[in-house]
């Protein structure tokens, strides 16, 4: 009887051991499957996150330019209409506003070209109402000099005009182009005009761009870039492209824009 009890005890012990082994094996298998499932889930989540994560949306707003000028920015008699302001805006991805009329200046009204024309100063109230601007480029004075306006009167008119421009668009960057014809030999008053402009622009925090000093027309076949009318010379379409290229280089050099216009 005791022998049978010992056999039953050994059988029970063996059965318990086998049960524990099986349970341990099953537990290990379940743990392994669970771990693999967790790893696979983590990997899948990582792949999903990598493939379909939302990219950061950073939209840089386009800057707006305003060009205020005379024949060079207006184009000759409506023939050369893709003038340098539009070339500049296309090159630098700028919103483009252009207020330019033939025969006009800071003082000259240009009414010999059209009765509806008026000087830059008289057009400014309209510009203030309809244009926004981050970058303003003033390019005028050739017709004033041609009409015999004195250096002092020109400087005073430019100072008043730029002061009002700054008041209207206080956050804008402003540049003034010295009124140079398309030539390497400017008119006799050019040096005096630039001297006055230099004083005015520095006092107002405006950038002065001097085409002659910067060599815009050096080594350039001038006649190929001009058209003659009424004993005056205007840029043709090739000349407009040339001015755009040179002005673009100046804007980059003065850090007014960030990207350079490709050379032609």
Q: Is the pTM of this model over 0.85?
A: no
Tens-place pLDDT, residues 122-148: 999 999 999 999 999 999 999 999 999
Determine the pLDDT at residue 185: 87
What would the pLDDT profile of 217-237 be if each residue is shown by its tens digit? 999 999 999 887 766 678 999
C-alpha triplet 167, 168, 174: angle, nearest 5°: 80
Question: In this structure, what is the dihedral angle of CA atoms 45, 50, 56, 62, given to the nearest 10 degrees?
Answer: -150
What percent of the chain is helix, strand and coil (3-state, nearest 5)? 50, 15, 35
Question: Is a pLDDT exceeding 90 seen at residue 16?
Answer: no
Q: Which of 170, 94, 179 shows the shortest CA–CA distance to 128? A: 170
Q: What is the pLDDT of residues 91-112, one digit of tens each?
A: 999 999 999 999 999 999 999 8
């Amino acid at each position: 009887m005791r022998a049978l009890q010992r056999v039953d005890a050994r059988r029970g012990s063996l059965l318990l051991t086998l049960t524990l082994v099986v349970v341990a094996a099953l537990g290990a298998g379940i743990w392994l499957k669970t771990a693999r499932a967790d790893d696979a889930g983590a990997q899948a989540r990582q792949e999903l996150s990598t493939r379909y994560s939302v990219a950061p949306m950073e939209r840089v707003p386009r800057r707006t330019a305003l060009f205020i000028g005379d024949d060079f920015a207006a184009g000759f008699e409506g023939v050369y209409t893709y003038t340098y302001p539009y070339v500049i805006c296309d090159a630098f991805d700028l919103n483009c506003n252009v207020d330019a009329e033939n025969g006009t200046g800071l003082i000259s009204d240009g009414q010999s070209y059209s009765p509806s024309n008026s000087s830059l100063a008289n057009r400014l109230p309209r510009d203030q109402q309809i244009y926004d601007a981050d970058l303003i480029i003033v390019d005028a004075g050739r017709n004033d000099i041609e009409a015999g306006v004195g250096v002092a009167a020109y400087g005073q008119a430019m100072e008043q005009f730029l002061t009002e421009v700054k008041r209207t668009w206080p956050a804008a960057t402003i540049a003034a182009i010295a009124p140079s014809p398309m030539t390497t030999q400017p008119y006799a008053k050019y040096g005096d005009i630039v001297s006055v402009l230099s004083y005015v622009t520095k006092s107002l925090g405006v950038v002065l761009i001097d085409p002659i000093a910067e060599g815009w027309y050096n080594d350039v076949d001038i006649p190929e870039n001009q058209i003659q009318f009424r004993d005056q010379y205007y840029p043709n379409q090739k000349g407009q492209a040339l001015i755009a290229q040179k002005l673009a280089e100046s804007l980059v050099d003065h850090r007014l824009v960030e990207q350079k216009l490709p050379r032609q």
